[in-house]
Amino acid sequence: MTIDTIRNISVIGAGNMGHQIALVAALAGYDTSLTDVDSDALARAEAHAGTYLSERVAKGRLSEADGAAARGRLRFVATLADCVAEADFVVEAAVEKLDVKRRLFADLDHFAPRHAILATNSSAIVSSAVASSTKRPDRVVNMHFFNPSLVMKLVEVVQGPHVSDDTAQTTIALARALGKVPVHLHKEVDGFLLNRILDAVFREAGWLLEMGVASIEDIDLACVHGAGHPMGPFRLLDLIGLDLQHLMAMERFEKTGDAAELPMPQLAARVAAGHLGQKTGQGWYDYRGANRGGKAA
């Protein structure tokens, strides 16, 4: 399979990542279908697509014709079987639970055409962990977009030992066709590429905060104005979601048993309180009311 044979893209999961990936694909010219087991999530995704495209047109960033064409390429469907019936490439963006993904990939293998590549957008679960639930392990690959995927350019393509060169190269080519910048990981590793680098920054920033060395604001200011980062680690965590960082830390702890892998106390406390970042209005910073620009919480 090559990039030239990809016409139809299916996205599984209409949450924060999935509905954006579907929009990216439709805007790039691909017939795109999106589904979710939660009908309310699917309805919200459909409403968001209309709003997003209309706003782009109103701001002059997208012509009316191109906006209408992108909307026309988007389908919001109730069932998995319907969503992937004509898929050439599938992107799974479901919950980060291995047992759920394994069942889902077994279903995808059953319903999707035999030639289709099945990609997982997981930021933590390697594709070899789900590939064995299919009869096409050579066409099961990590294609990790970053949040918000309508804006962020990076896509990590992770080529595990089961992934064929054709699958990896086609996935890389598709990322480019979607207007993204792909990086190719030649082997599986926990955390992939960027998250391993960021995790080292998050850990050190957390240690500095926990030890009372510096405030949230000053740590962020140092990274922005000293290291040239577009935003500091705490603001970035608010954008990514504190729950995702907490989940990844817990998964590392469960694998290693090393207490050093546990989430830092202040992160755990915020997650327990439901303060998960921008999506909940409060995380490391408070984005509510007069603090919409973000004030350290």
Catalytic residue among 10, 46, 156, 275: 156
122 flagged as catalytic: no
123 flagged as catalytic: yes
291 flagged as catalytic: no
Catalytic residue among 121, 122, 123, 142: 123
Catalytic residue among 8, 33, 195, 246: 195
Catalytic residue among 144, 149, 246, 275: 144
54 flagged as catalytic: no
CA-to-CA distance for 190 and 192, rounded, in angstroms? Answer: 5
- Those residues whose C-beta lies under 8 Å from the C-beta of residue 165, and which sit 6 or more positions away, are 159
106-114 own/partner pairs: CB under 8 Å, 24+ apart: 106/133, 106/134, 107/80, 108/12, 108/80, 108/84, 108/134, 109/133, 109/134, 109/135, 109/136, 111/80, 111/81, 111/84, 111/85, 112/10, 112/84, 112/85, 112/87, 113/85, 113/86, 113/87, 113/88
The residues annotated with a catalytic role in the active site are 123, 144, 156, 195
